[in-house]
Structure 1
């Protein structure tokens, strides 16, 4: 399977029906994308495919052939991204397990909607957090929008 992974061309030897999540973790050795539920309900496995947030646990690797996939390892690989910086400033994580998926979904949201309203956030960020850090995440999303606009 040939596609772009974190801005680099890759060729993975994986069965076409293999979930992208497992191709990333097992074949590409990128373990930042997490397995949560396996049915696209929780969002722990969220990655971006051509800039869109996608639940990788139900996306066959064949669906990304020729496309650009970005994982948490590809966000802020040289320095923390505005979203990652906002997450740190707002002290969002508790256990942290779901955070890569939330960061990926937020990155995709801000690329499309640079100044999201609460309704935009509710519509786009459907991931689940067992620790319940939703108020801190909403504040971090708004702070990330500010940082992004400021070019920080």
Structure 2
């Protein structure tokens, strides 16, 4: 007797599920909405991503590049990185000329990796970041 009751419950659930499925909107738009990704993955060097997650529109300012890629080392002087706005740290480097500073920033120098890890920064954006770091000197 109990088997019949169990089968009746399963049958009721199956019928209820069928009725619910028939009431679901099956239009292309509704299906696309239900299956759209819930998140996006952004990788380092992604040319569309910025630190704030907004789409990149044109060239970034020196401050934006600094905040995104340079601040981690150039704020505290990690591995002897010259600190932003610190004349003593920059004096010897500036004496070599802006062309040398830019070349070292683009190609890497000592502990600094190429482009300071900002692989999607243009040469002009790298230059703007250097100028931003030394503007108060």
When normalised by structure 2's length, the TM-score is 0.29
Larger Rg: 2
Structure number with higher strand proportion: 1
Structure number with higher helix proportion: 2
